[in-house]
């Protein structure tokens, strides 16, 4: 199986190129973005040495589905999805904050709570909660968008004080984040899932706020299974998650957490194939649809051909 590890295209009217951890982004005519969802995979802020076949397609197609399912809440950046691994959309000026929204006490929020913290990004957390408990109501815990290194927690008060986002825009982002999360919760419920937490990114174009980037994917969200949730909570057991947590667990079990001096364990063909299979399983569970394998051909040639055809129509 071929995988997209990296791309080196030169599209007509291309004005810039950016390679992120897992995506290659081409700017066209300073107006449009061609976002190629590569098959690179990262964990603990490290890009692992081998790409995972079909991973990019899984994330790109889940994001496309959820962006379409939320387009009545606010406009989003997508113009077309010309290839299973590519989205072309409007270039927006991104807000320099990510809107992380949490309905459950998990992950970073739980670690803060376990260590005695009862305030997270200006939100007060009640006493007596256990890991993965449902919060009284969803809370927004924003992070700053770091160009390099880790994103940092920040409160609404600090965002407004520093003028990172205007009061009017920030309050609109809050409303959108809550509405998007509520829609995500409802769709997840239909699939027997709980959307525990997720993040949204927004941008602005011609004075209009757009939803940008991916949403509700297993890389940007944490899902639990409805079945057995209450029983596990009552017994103090870990929740069964639908996310890329299984990749982190494999790394931890093999002595890697991204710390200095640690070596990424060998990614055998068997490991790569098993991660690919899990991503396809995630796709089918979250969407309720069969995964359609992209045609067996030269993947990079296919992507280039499909993107060029789409750009000619813009």
Tell me the three-class secondary structure of 211-249, residue by residue: EECCCCCCCCEEEEECCCHHHHHHHCCCCCEECCHHHHH
Query: How far apart, in whole angstroms, are the C-alpha atoms of residue 85 and residue 89?
Result: 14
> 297 pLDDT band (50/70/90 cuts)?
confident
End-to-end distance of the chain based on CA atoms, in angstroms?
Answer: 32
Contact 202, 212 (CB under 8 A): yes
C-alpha 6/C-alpha 211 separation (Å) is 26
pLDDT at 248: 87
Q: How far apart are alpha carbons 211 and 217 in whole angstroms?
A: 14
Report the distance separating Cα 95 and Cα 20, nearest Å: 17
pLDDT tens-place string over residues 40-96: 999 888 999 999 999 999 999 999 999 999 999 999 999 999 999 999 999 999 999
Q: Where in the chain is the domain with CATH 3.30.470.20?
A: 94-102+141-242
pTM above 0.85, yes or no: yes
For domain 94-102+141-242, the CATH superfamily is ATP-grasp fold, B domain (3.30.470.20)
Please tell me the CATH superfamily of domain 14-92+246-312, with its number: Phosphorylase Kinase; domain 1 (3.30.200.20)
**247-288 residue pLDDT tens:** 988 999 999 998 899 999 999 999 999 999 999 999 999 999
Sign of CA dihedral 106, 109, 112, 115: negative
Q: Does pLDDT of 147 surpass 70?
A: no
Computed from CA positions of residues 221, 226, 232, 234, in that sequence, does the dihedral angle turn out positive or negative? positive
Residue ranges of the chain assigned to CATH 3.30.200.20 = 14-92+246-312
């Amino acid at each position: 199986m071929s995988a997209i590890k990296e791309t080196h295209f030169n599209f007509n009217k291309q004005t810039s190129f950016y390679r992120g951890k897992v995506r290659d982004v081409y700017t066209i005519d300073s107006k449009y973005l061609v976002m190629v969802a590569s098959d690179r995979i990262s964990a603990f802020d490290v890009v692992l040495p081998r790409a995972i076949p079909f991973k990019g397609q899984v994330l790109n197609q889940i994001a496309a589905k959820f962006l379409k399912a939320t387009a009545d809440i606010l406009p989003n950046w997508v113009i077309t999805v010309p290839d299973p691994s590519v989205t072309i959309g409007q270039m927006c000026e991104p807000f320099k904050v990510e809107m992380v929204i949490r309905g459950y006490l998990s992950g970073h929020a739980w670690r803060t709570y376990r260590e005695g913290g009862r305030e997270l990004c200006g939100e007060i957390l009640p006493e007596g909660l256990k890991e993965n408990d449902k919060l009284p109501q969803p809370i927004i815990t924003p992070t700053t968008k770091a160009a390099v290194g880790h994103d940092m927690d920040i409160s609404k008060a600090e965002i407004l004080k520093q003028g990172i986002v205007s009061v009017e825009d920030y309050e609109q982002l809050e409303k959108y984040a809550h509405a998007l999360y509520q829609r995500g919760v409802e769709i997840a419920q239909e699939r027997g899932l709980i959307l525990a937490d997720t993040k949204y990114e927004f941008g602005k174009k011609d004075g209009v706020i757009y939803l940008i980037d991916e949403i509700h994917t297993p890389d940007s969200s944490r899902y639990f299974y409805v079945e057995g949730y209450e029983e596990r909570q009552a017994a103090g057991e870990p929740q069964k998650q639908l996310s890329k947590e299984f990749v982190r667990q494999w790394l931890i079990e093999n002595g890697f957490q991204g710390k200095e001096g640690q070596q990424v364990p060998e990614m055998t063909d068997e490991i790569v194939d098993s991660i690919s299979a899990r991503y396809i399983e995630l796709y089918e569970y979250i969407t309720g649809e069969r995964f359609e394998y992209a045609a067996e051909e030269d993947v990079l040639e296919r992507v280039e051909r499909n993107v060029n055809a789409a750009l000619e129509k813009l």
